[in-house]
């Protein structure tokens, strides 16, 4: 798994959101973006992570940061997740996990002694020019927003 680091170009993507709209990273050129990868919509850690991003909307908007969540879930499951928790930002469907692979957020995971392939919970802060201003792998769900805010305010 190739890991990205600060200063690298953020891999481009175009993915459907929970409403079926195609969203491109390039749509956000000139803005900062908090992009986070989560394993599965409406599971405990993913809900904690997504709700923390929702709850930080005001702070992130003041800092000029757009929010994007990304998982392998289909758009319909993403929409149900958004509706249930009133998340209010694009949740992108990376069904073939190609974007997760490009970001180094897809790999081998071990849970309960069993090894499988899946999303490695990660978050990235993309600057206005499309470069990474922050990259966090194996991030704790509750650390996604504080990591980004710290990177923005140092």
Tell me which residues are annotated as active site.
Answer: 46
Q: Which long-range contacts (CB under 8 A, 24 or more apart) does 79-86 make?
A: 79/18, 79/19, 80/41, 80/42, 81/18, 81/41, 81/42, 81/47, 81/50, 82/18, 84/42, 85/47, 85/50, 85/51, 85/54, 86/54
Provide the token pair at 143: 């650390």
């Amino acid at each position: 798994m190739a890991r990205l680091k600060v200063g690298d170009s953020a891999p481009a993507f175009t993915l459907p959101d929970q409403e079926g709209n195609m969203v491109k990273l390039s749509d956000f050129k000139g803005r900062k973006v908090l992009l986070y990868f989560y394993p599965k919509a409406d599971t405990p850690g993913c809900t904690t992570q997504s709700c923390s991003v929702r709850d930080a909307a005001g702070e992130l908007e003041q800092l000029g940061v757009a929010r994007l969540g990304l998982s392998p879930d289909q758009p319909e499951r993403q929409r149900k997740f958004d509706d249930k928790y009133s998340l209010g930002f694009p949740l992108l469907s990376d069904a073939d996990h190609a974007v997760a692979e490009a970001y180094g957020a897809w790999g081998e995971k071990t849970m309960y002694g069993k090894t499988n392939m899946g999303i490695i919970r990660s978050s990235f802060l993309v600057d206005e020019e499309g470069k990474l201003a922050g990259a966090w792998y194996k991030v704790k769900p509750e650390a996604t927003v504080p990591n980004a805010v710290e990177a923005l305010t140092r």
